[in-house]
Amino acid sequence: MTRVRVLIRPKTGILDPAGQAVERALPVLGFEPARNVHVGRLVELDVDDPSRVPEMCERLLANPLIEDYEIVPAS
Amino acid sequence: MKYGVVRFPGSCDETDALLAAERLGEAVLLWHTDRDLSGVDAVIVPGGFSYGDYLRVGAIARFAPIMREVERFAAHGGLVLGICNGFQVLCEAGLLPGALLPNLSLRFVCRQVQLEVQRSRSKWMRDVRPGERLSIPAKHTTGRYWAPEPVLDELEAQGQVALRYAPGSNFNGSSRDIAGVCNHAGNVLGLMPHPEHAVDVLTGSTDGLKVLTP
């Protein structure tokens, strides 16, 4: 089995209110302001055939209309 | 007229949808594992949190056995109405264009909204006129309608925008104030507000019946 990580984030250009909320919250806590904050999801899975993961992303794990995904092999 | 109301694990408005449909005709519940639609004339995919809305709203329900039948029914011109979570499911299934994103406020909002009926291809809402206003409650966290700009242009040009939030009612930040869209054939309609909760004067409005009438 191969451990795979899929990072899913809102597509560029789509307003991300969760990211904006984090941007607003950081200075309130005394942190330096952060920009371009985006909040997404992490899906981790063990698979026999990692070559099928892109199809899994297209059909289920992400909605390609509104989300970008990135497949990262986990060590 | 016989309505079928789909019940997924996690649906919560199917009973109201059933009772509302019974005011207009016969109505039956359809279970998510059913492999036929019991000969209904119209299908309502109701609101709620199908399969817990895990992963993404509507994402899992789309693969329910009943949805294969609903997709086949819709492809043959059958009447399908998606309400709230049902709208999200129909978008995930590709029966309707676009997607529903979290409200700009990130909050769950429950309030009465005013909708403006658009000139559209919709085969639902038979007795309403373009420009008419409908008063219907909305209650959701993930109801911000979104589609790429060229798709929005196309929907408007093709008469697929069926309902818009009236000024002051677009609390979720939907693109171009869109509250409901239909497919190109007009037989599939989805909307975020809940017509099934507006069917009795006791609760303030009967405008929902107009949406539920094909």
pLDDT above 70 (res B125): yes
> B174: which DSSP letter?
-
Say whether domain A2-73 belongs to CATH 3.30.70.360: no
Closest in A18, A61, A63 to B106, CB measured: A18
Cα Rg, chain B, nearest whole Å = 15
Please indicate whether, in this complex, the C-beta atoms of B99 and A18 are within 8 angstroms of each other: no
For A35-71, write each residue's pLDDT tens digit: 999 999 999 999 999 999 999 999 999 999 999 999 9
- Chain A with chain B: Cβ pairs closer than 8 A: 29
Q: Residue B36: left (phi > 0), alpha (psi -120 to 50), or beta? A: beta
- What residue spans define the domains of chain A? 2-73
Please indicate whether, in this complex, the C-beta atoms of A14 and B146 are within 8 angstroms of each other: yes
For B150-199, write each residue's pLDDT tens digit: 999 999 999 999 999 999 999 999 999 999 999 999 999 999 999 999 99
What global pTM score does this model have?
A: 0.95
The question of whether B197 is a catalytic residue gets the answer no
The set of long-range contacts for B9-12, using a CB threshold of 8 Å and a minimum separation of 24, is B9/B50, B9/B51, B9/B52, B10/B48, B10/B49, B10/B50, B10/B51, B10/B52, B10/B53, B11/B46, B11/B47, B11/B48, B11/B49, B11/B50, B11/B85, B12/B47, B12/B48, B12/B49
ipTM for the assembly: 0.88
**Which residues from B are below 8 Å from A60, CB to CB?**
55, 59, 63
Give the residue from B51, B53, B54, B55 with the most A CB atoms within 10 Å of its CB, the best one to mutate. Answer: B55
The question of whether B156 is a catalytic residue gets the answer no
Closest in A17, A60, A65 to B106, CB measured: A17
What chain B holds in terms of domains, given with CATH numbers, is: 2-211 (3.40.50.880)
